[in-house]
Amino acid sequence: MRPPHSGAWWLWALGLAVAASRTTNPVLLAVILAVAGFVAVHCRSNAPWSSAYGMFLKFGLLVIAIRLVFSIVVGGITGPTVLFTLPEVLLPDWAKGIRLGGDVTAEGLVHALYQGLQLATLLCCIGAANALADPRRLLKSVPAALYEVSAAVVVALTVAPQLAVSARAVRRARALRGDAARGRNAIRTLLVPVLEDALDRSLHLAAAMDSRGYGRTAGLPKRTRVTTAVLVLGGLIGLCVGAYGLLDAEAPAFVGVPVLIVGVVLAVAGLVLGSRRLARTRYRPDRWTVPSVLIAASGAAAGAAAVLAEAFGELALIPSTVPLTAPEVPVVPVIGVLVALLPVLLARREALS
């Protein structure tokens, strides 16, 4: 049986990430973390990058710690419940908006904790995708015409899994030499070789892409090249500006939807033009089989449940921190996120058959 489409795992993880981005409720975030971790552990292959989830989990803990430290030192959100008071550094009048030290309140800490937990959960969703999806197979499915940006896309998409692979290889190599450093010492001795190795791997991959025709410029008339580059880059810029215009309430109306549409049209035109000059065959391409579609749909269900609950005025998604209240359980989004456990059932059925 063929493994699911790599894109399906990314869509599944992005659905969970959408759910996480709509809430700071620690209960819902914990459910998302648990579901993503459970699926990542059960459905991963034995590929070297499949330990990525653990790496992202540790990174998430670091994010929470940094967020808490900043909330203690710089403050921001304050409430009536003062836990302890740090010596306050008096800033000049023009910097009065910033507070250094001073009262540390329970409300501020809980707010920072919720926000840090949200960011950590988003990271772990991406970590689950990295652990589950084969980055090279995913690249095979990328349209051949992401021509001008392909090298950047390759490096960006593979750097996390490559880091996981490199960390493992370097640690094993050091262990074989009798240096089983852990903790802070390990970071000092591992950091440079791991980063160097990961970068090397990404560059190798980019070179391999180049040798297969991605970003190839030889033998093409200059006019075609420039046209494609302008179309693709213009389209991407249009997408960015349009998305910003949509999200910014103050932006003039013509910056939103129209620019977005122009960006999409330009990008599609560029992709079509680019792919026309590149003939590429695929060996055993990934297919959107029924399990793949179900995996993607279960992730989408999790995201949709959270977005719909928010649209229908579910207040439990964002629990109040000033004043402090015990978070309630947003039932519909929790059920939606539990639907994202479906890949485990699919994998089990496959193992039995």
Residue 344 neighbours by CB under 8 Å, 6+ apart: 38, 39, 42, 43
Which helix H or strand E contains 283, and what residues bound it? Answer: none
Q: Report d(CA 326, CA 339) in Å as an integer.
A: 25
Q: Report d(CA 316, CA 27) in Å as an integer.
A: 10
For another protein, the binding residue among 41, 246, 268, 339 (CB under 8 A) is: 41
Q: Which is nearer to another protein, 47 or 145 (CB)?
A: 47
Q: Report d(CA 291, CA 298) in Å as an integer.
A: 10
C-alpha pair distances (Å), 168 with each of 49, 133, 178: 9, 18, 15
For another protein, the binding residue among 34, 142, 239, 251 (CB under 8 A) is: 34
The verdict on 82 binding another protein (CB under 8 A) reads no
Site track 93-122 with another protein (rule: CB under 8 A), x = hit? ---xx-x-------x---x-----------
Q: Which of 20, 22, 14 is nearest to 130 (CA)?
A: 14
Q: Which stretch binds another protein (CB under 8 A): 185-193, 237-245, 292-300, 321-329?
A: 321-329
Residues 105, 82 contacting (CB under 8 angstroms):
yes
**According to CB under 8 A, which residues from 231 to 250 bind another protein?**
249-250
Q: How far is the CB of 54 from another protein (least distance, A)?
A: 7
The verdict on 312 binding another protein (CB under 8 A) reads yes
Compute the chain's Rg from CA coordinates. Answer: 24
Q: How far is the CB of 345 from another protein (least distance, A)?
A: 14
Q: Which is nearer to another protein, 7 or 330 (CB)?
A: 330
Q: Report d(CA 344, CA 107) in Å as an integer.
A: 38
The verdict on 46 binding another protein (CB under 8 A) reads yes
What residue ranges bind another protein (CB under 8 A)? 24, 27, 30-31, 33-35, 37-38, 40-42, 46, 51, 54, 76-80, 96-97, 99, 107, 111, 249-250, 309, 312-316, 318-323, 325, 328-332, 334, 338, 341
